[in-house]
Amino acid sequence: MKAALLLGTCMLIAVPALAQSVGERTGAKATLGVIPKAADFVTEAAASDMFEIDSSKLAASKTQGEVRTFANQMVTDHTRTSTELMPLAQQARLAPPTRMSSAQRSKLDKLRAANGKDFTNLYIDDQVSAHKDAVLLFQRYGNGGDNPQLKNWAIKTLPALQHHLDMAQKLQKVTMGSR
């Protein structure tokens, strides 16, 4: 019985490592520290940028003050990273997605429907979550990615993403008092 339990546990640990090319969105791979394949990295990074840009353009039109400043910076910074990623993906013969994931589209739809404080809180919470995911993705790929150019870009881009996360978390703390 103990041997069967040990074997089952080993299989649960080994299976995710063998299935690296499956999409990253579940979060299980991030938790286990599985390094994504180049195609998965490009897909997730590009989709993340699309969500950041679209949600932040919306936030820039619906908010003011610090949140609007943050949103405008997200549009600028994620437009730049998208522009940097495209030639790297082409060199690796990878096609970035043309649209964000269905989960990201659903979050964007919820943002479009929200207004006022509800919008601001939802936007900031989404930014914290999205940047946590992005930081983990870029850390994992930077630590062991299979394409040297993409790996170097992930390492170079990571500090900006961490800074975005820090700013979003600071905004979240500020708005927590008004919730």
| pLDDT (tens digit per residue) in 70-122 | 999 999 999 999 999 999 999 999 999 999 999 999 999 999 999 999 999 99
Q: Distance between CA 49 and CA 52 in Å, rounded? A: 5
In a domain? residue 148: yes
Domain span at residue 99? 38-176
Residue 131 near residue 164 (C-beta atoms within 8 A): yes
Measured CA to CA, the distance from residue 55 to residue 162 in angstroms comes to: 19
Structural domain includes residue 11:
no
Does a structural domain hold residue 104? Answer: yes
In this predicted structure, what is the pLDDT of residue 1?
A: 53
The residue count for the chain: 179
Q: Is residue 16 part of a domain?
A: no
Residue 88 and residue 150 in contact, taking contact as beta carbons nearer than 8 Å: yes
| SS3 category, 158 | helix
Q: What is the reported pTM?
A: 0.81
Q: What is the dihedral of CA 143, 144, 149, 152, to 10 degrees?
A: 10
Q: Encode pLDDT of 8-54 as tens digits.
A: 444 444 333 333 333 444 454 554 568 999 999 999 999 999 999 99
CATH of the domain at 134: 1.20.1260.10
Task: Provide the pLDDT for residue 179.
Answer: 57
For 110, counting Cβ atoms within 10 Å of its Cβ (0-12 exposed, 13-18 middle, 19+ buried), the class is: middle
What is the predicted pLDDT for the residue at 6? 42
Q: What is the pLDDT of residue 153?
A: 98
Domain count, the chain: 1
Query: pLDDT at position 28, please?
Result: 44
Kindly tell me if the per-residue pLDDT of 4 is higher than 50: no
Q: In this structure, is residue 19 part of a structural domain? A: no
Q: Would 69 be classed as within a structural domain?
A: yes
Q: Which residues contact 155 (CB under 8 A, 6 or more apart)?
A: 138, 142
Is residue 6 in a domain?
Answer: no
Specify if 56 maps to a domain. Answer: yes
Question: What was the pLDDT predicted at 58?
Answer: 98
